[in-house]
Structure 1
Amino acid sequence: MKSQNRLLQPFTLPNGSVLKNRFLMAPITTCTGYYDGTVNRELVEYYRVRSGSIGTVIVECCFIDDKGLAFPGAIGIDNDSKIAGLAKIAAAIKSAGSKAILQIYHGGRMSEPKLIGGQTPVAPSALAAPREGATTPTALSAQEVDEMIAKFGEAVRRAIEAGFDGVEIHGANTYLIQQFYSPNSNQRDDKWGGSRENRARFPLAVLDVAHQMVSQYADPSFIIGYRFSPEEIEEPGIRFVDTMYLLEQLAVRGLDYLHFSTGHSLRSSIVDTCDPTPLIDKYVTMRSTTLAKIPVMGVGGVVNMQDAELALEHGYDMIAVGKACIAYPDWADRIISQQKLELFIDSTQREALNIPEPLWRFSLVEAMIRDMSIASKKFKAGIFNEKVQDDTLTLAINVSLEIDRIADIALDADADLDVAFTTNFEIIRSRILDANSPHVDAVSGATTQSEAVKKAVSKAIAKSCKAQLLEEGGSLSEPQNYDVVVVGSGGAGLAAAIQACDEGAKVLIVEKMPSIGGNTIKASVGMNAAETRFQKLKGINDSKDLFYQETLKGGQGKNDTVLLKQFVEYAPQAVEWLAEHDIELSDITITGGMSIDRTHRPADCSAVGGFLISGLVKNINKRQIDVMLDTAVTDIRYVDGAVAGVELLNDENETLIINAKSVIVATGGFSANRDMVVKYRPELDGFVTTNHQGATGGGIAILEKIGAGTVDMGEIQIHPTVEQSTSYLISEAIRGGGAILVSQAGRRFFNEMETRDKVSAQIIGLPEKSAYVVFDEQVRMKNKAADEYIARGFVISADSPRELAHKLDMDFHAFLATLENYNLAVDKQNDAEFGRKTALRHPINQGPFYAIRIAPGVHHTMGGVTINTQACVLDSQQQPLNGAYAAGEVVGGIHGGNRIGGNAVADIIIFGILAGRNAASYAMK
């Protein structure tokens, strides 16, 4: 009780500032800022509702320089324009009665090129971080080091002007300040490197400039804290004795608190793993009298009062609380009233808890979402050994299962692993354990490894479920029973499964590939719809009739007009359906063939595919819908004029029978089946395809076997902008954002916003049969896909148009004239030369300037099986095949002779919902 009283009593810092209690909200990254690092209303409200009874709120780290972003959605304090937004956060926190502290940082070599406009990160030395795919940074010059210290000072000034009560200097998590102190990342030979004393100069200089700014612009009560990571695992690296040296030096210069950055407040050494002593105990023993005067804060593992009391007993003066404050905005009130809390979040309560959507999708939060589990399954408890194989090695993995959850995932303890492999494994392991499901997002840059681990866990679960079934007296040879089987796990299949489940059906998803997502995960541009709520909010005056007419024109008048009318009518409802399922497409752009901005995409302007699949999978997990991966549907059982089930073949060559009254085929098109493409369009032999390798037309074949009719099989679309060495599609959103197409001669040659078939034909007609997508920094800033292309190495960049022309081996006189003519057209909003009427957004005149070499590739097959407006599959006489439904690219007729960009995502969601609803209704009659 004594320590509890201490925790709740006011606490005075060395500078005389008084905190109402010893509890602080930890600075947890929300990834919620706008693309340019400014603050939005959602973020302000997030902090407002968590302020009040908790003594102090430490706001997530702000980048002090536009080359310092280490994660997407970061907020910035790199220029004065950011002050107004940050002031709203400070005011919200302080109005509720808490103190507001802002954490400031620079990512250094941990900054991602795709987040900083493709620029090379900066660091103390030109040494890449020891992780897979890490970029080698540019070493800061001595002058640039001085300038960087000044930028930290300017950030402190801005924090003062924004009304914050203090700043926390982020010297942890391997970011720039820690990089200067680390012998691993700092191998300079000037005064900023070499000896431990020299390496300490940078963090000490940052503290000094912070004091200077406080002396000049704030009163003495302004708080300065410092966050540090006590050790590095690398060799050479920071050891605890090195940290103690630095902290002693910082204490001499004056600090108001120190913040231990560890995963758990009582964590022991990550270097000396044989010593179980908590690092805080070592710190208390080793510190000098001077250092002991600086309060120290612990973080990690604090949910209830007894957790905080235990941390206090070990020597912490203050306690930072992270995940518990996300789950419980009124956490301090609950603790004060002596409630016993469990760390979980009801997945229906995101908006009620004021949790921003990007934070909701973050693995740290997913760890707390209880009802996303697969608790309805019954596992046979035990440890199941599976093999994990990525591109380079094979390892044993042990999956520990309890009766209703995945308890642990561990690699063979004898394995000789590199740091990158271990790091990526830990990330995917955490995601699976957090979601209690193998169906989670892969780790960026480690897709193959992630999918291997996910597959191993899926196999372990399958074995466990079989063992439990046998233990309960069941038979493996007896067919399983479902109401609806969905074949394919792209956007159409997932939407169909979710809707069918919500109608009360028992649903199974079968996917022949080893991972969920299908071709949808590669989608980039967005989802078309007219007369939506989001258009109205942006003042866009659109109509369904215009959408219909432009789609019909784009499809060369070959569209099935009945299906097209249904498509146009249901599109805005589908956008709302996604929003209701926490998949909000609120930003809007335009694609070729459209005259109005009606292409809906994520608010951060990122590619729609990964965002869509991630959100749909979360809904699949939430509903506990069964999924079989690496399993092909070999036949649809069609008995007495109706669907009776499906026959499956899994990757262990086992034949399985599933009884079901409805089947929804959502297997995509056949762009990746070269023989099938050439059968219908011989002239496309040799073209690359943007599609994933599973797009082979198998769904069309199994439906044809039960009598399905087909339509428009020869209508195959080639996309004009495909990076040829990787078959990677360059999103139409780049042109929709204001980019142009330029030939090798340096000239525009066609209206970039025409339909895909026409633009492709013009590129093929060029002597070199390729072209460049050319854009500037203004386009890049509004299209996150561009950052991905930069990171993948597709982009050639230059500071000036003349330099870009030189790099492209292009006549710079012609190129400069091209840009000048285009920019004049933009100024006049009249492209008289090529008749471009849309996406004349701004002149291409702000460096850096960018170019990507592209040529056409097979992209979409408009032909497929025939359906009616209920998504029922029709036979060759246009009669329904009872119980058979289809949605997505497996269906023909909707797009006619050419698909408009953005219509495919609308197609899969609209008809996926319809198929799910009607298949469930039919099965449950």
Structure 2
Amino acid sequence: MSQLFKELTLPVSGVTLKNRIAMSPMTTESAYFDGSVPQELIDYYEHRSGDAAMIVVESCFIEDKGRGFSGALGIDTDDKIEGLSHLAKTIKAKGSLAVVQIYHAGRMAFPDMNGGANPIAPSPIAALRPNAPVPTEMTHQQVLDMIQLFANAARRAIKAGFDGIELHGANTYLLQQFFSPHSNRRTDAWGGSRSKRTHFAVEVIKAVKAVIKEEGASDFILGYRFSPEELEEPGIRFDDTMYFLNKIAAYGLDYVHFSMASYTRGSIVDTSDPSLLIEKYLEERSEALAAIPVMGVGSIVQPDDASQALELGYDLVAVGKAFLVEPNWVEKVARNEQVQDFADIHQRQELVIPIPLWQFMDKSFSLVKDAEEEKRKAARLQELLKKKLHFKAGDYEVIARGHNNDLPMVVTFSDERITAIAIDNSGESEGLSDTVIETLPEQIIAAQTLNVDAVSGASATSQGVIDGVAEAAELAGGQESVDVLKARPKPVRERSTEVVDETFDVIVVGGGAAGIAAALRAEQEGLSVVMLEKLSFIGGAISVSGGNQVVMGSKLQKQAGVDDDSALLMVADFLKNGNNKNVVELLALLADNVGQTTDWVHDYVGVRYDMAEGLHILAEYSRDRELAYEDGGHGFAAAVRQKIAESSVKLYLNTKATKLLSDGKGGVSGLTAIEENGKTHNITAKAVILTTGGYGHNKNLLSEDLQDVLFYGTNSSMGEGLLMAQAHGIEAATRMMEYGKIYPNGIEVSAGVAKSTIGGNIAVLRENALLVNTNGQRVVNERASNHDILDVLMEQDPKMLYILMDQEHFDVFKEEVAEGGISQIDIEQWLANNGSQTPYFFHADSLEELAKLAGMDKNSLVNTVNRYNQFVADGKDQDFDRQHQFLQKPVGQGPYYLVEQKPRFATTMGGLVVNTNLQVVNSKGSLIDGLYAAGEVVGGVMGTDSPSGANNAWALTSGKLAAESVYKITND
């Protein structure tokens, strides 16, 4: 606590702060309509001034059309100086320094707050907010004028008697917008690269510094507030922020100020990363930035919060909401007294809070509560915590909702306890749900609580288990028993500080198909192997896929009746599909080795292939060469998990590799990894094989074209392997990062997120079903390759087709889409919506009614179906030459269905540059000693697109070959 009350001298202004406490700038929405200062706002600040070293006055707009909220203060004209001066003098007279925050809202300056004026911004990109307008792009001259507006505002702050200003470069306002790759798409001096996106903030700082010098205000404080990350994609990531802060540090600041909801916050983008942002900040700051005090903010309420913040490495603490409910916060903390975390509904006048702010506190932050009611709630909680559980003993059967399907459960109760939880997860993805089924029941039973955390990577299944146990508890003991179970605290999980040093021959990073193949083959070669997987299960994307694989050249292909396929034919097909942009030597590597890899996966690993269904007939292949795994991705995952369990491979789940270790010569000697509980592993090895998959969920790494396509892959596809390999000292090269594998059969289940209907499409398009555009017309051969169908789909406006089915085939479709995570419950809900929202599942008894619902011309749709049915009767598709074997049934009886078909992607085509030994190449063209890569993290093998079953084939083949290369190279 003593550290909190130590003085701190700021490095540029030389001002000495009497303690380490500032009142954070907080929106009050209480200024006059023109932004001038009312007396009640002066009273509000006066009531909170005195003990804190600094009072940072809420953000003041620097231009009349730049408000970011109603009731904002202004510092945009000289006539505001008088009122601001009164405010500054009042704060200073009480004993605190007066600092004012200045800003322009940019694209967040919505017209209704700014007299109807359209907002301006670096680029004409609307904010990802409801009803956000498309802003007007600023001209070069407007950018220069805006810099001058910041300088003018600084001059007014000096003339008003403030002790300093804080530049508001956070909360998605204009300064942040210039640095953000989402809001700044310029290609001039003010954007186009990370360095150029920093240019605006640098020029603002320089202009403000010039004003300070001109006004002779050498002791004037200059701070900068920043938001460390953005959720927007592309958006600011923490490494961008550190680049930015390290750069602006050179221009002379007195402090930098985090803007976030909690001083202990980790990444909001990579939620699997356990590191606190302040820890990463301290590690990555430059010498110049280290000389600048850093201010922490968010959730600093109690004395211990403030002390812990300083212990974590913050130099100053900014206290926000606690000052609203306790104006004498500093005094209470000095006495080490606990602070109430809400204001009583009767306290507004006592706390000297303007009415607009009081309403804001209530509606936005729930800081206004009925104290008596809160006491009753607290008493109720204490009462529940004291209660014993009482159940009617027995087994209770319930059905909860999982990720893909229902979860039948049997929950067993004694008179006072949950004693067993048995779950049938056969309908869930193999591996995805297994950890949930193994761990959550154990935690619930051990602690007799429903207050348990979801398992990483399986939140839907986790919630399903919790909901199922709650339902059973209500049946066995009533609602009060459920309330008791929910009131009981979470099981305590201590965060480990243990650091262990380990040595293996090979480290495999990533537990997908490529990683599994690499680990098992390396172990088979006699190497000691550790495999790291950041999720709670192995299997990766393949475990939640339909599970198809190219098997060219294998014994299985010959057994299925194809013995005239060849590597040359396969390469030719892949080149055509990949628009001849494939890296030919890698494609040849795949074609030459996929057969023996398939036989190895079948014979050694134990994966079973669906020989009963046989080879698939696909338009992209001149020979049939794709097989499914028995039970699809589920079956594959079950087999490989068993094989890994039987092997000597050391497996660390919930463990994320964070940094490759350099040997000091440009090579790799191992890595650092952190378990979910905080335990750190420093692992040295002869070789590291990166099998971390793609980067489809990291829009910061995607091209603009891919950012506009629905994503249906795993949330874990963040490209960490790529980023680690490109770090300073390793500097791996990449290629073809702009490409992704786009499929033409997605449904938009939530904004920007797809699920696949491909299983249903394949089943119904064998017999009939049609692809029609939004005008009800056929536009493509429905049995063409995905590649060809996609080309047609991408030409549509909007980019959407519909698959049209009769009742017989829709019944088939419903069953077959379950593999893509689409349940019967989902479909029933979408049918009930009947096209009122996406995903569009229209249905009607007649084609005419169906067309009307979908906004089509009824005659067009009817004529399309009649014409197709005539082709079936004639045995010849005169329009698109649909193959005869797929022209066997006419569209039959209704009801009829239209299901949307939108472009979707999960697999990325770009990645690391490797040679034919799967060794990674650096940006100078040299091999990186000790670093290998396999699977999707490797770029170029598929060109611009991958045909069906190819990615699983490449993952397994390249993983196996990478392990063989490690064995050969390390033993030469």
Task: Give the alignment's TM-score, normalised by structure 2.
Answer: 0.46
Q: Compare CA radii of gyration and give the structure with the larger one.
A: 2
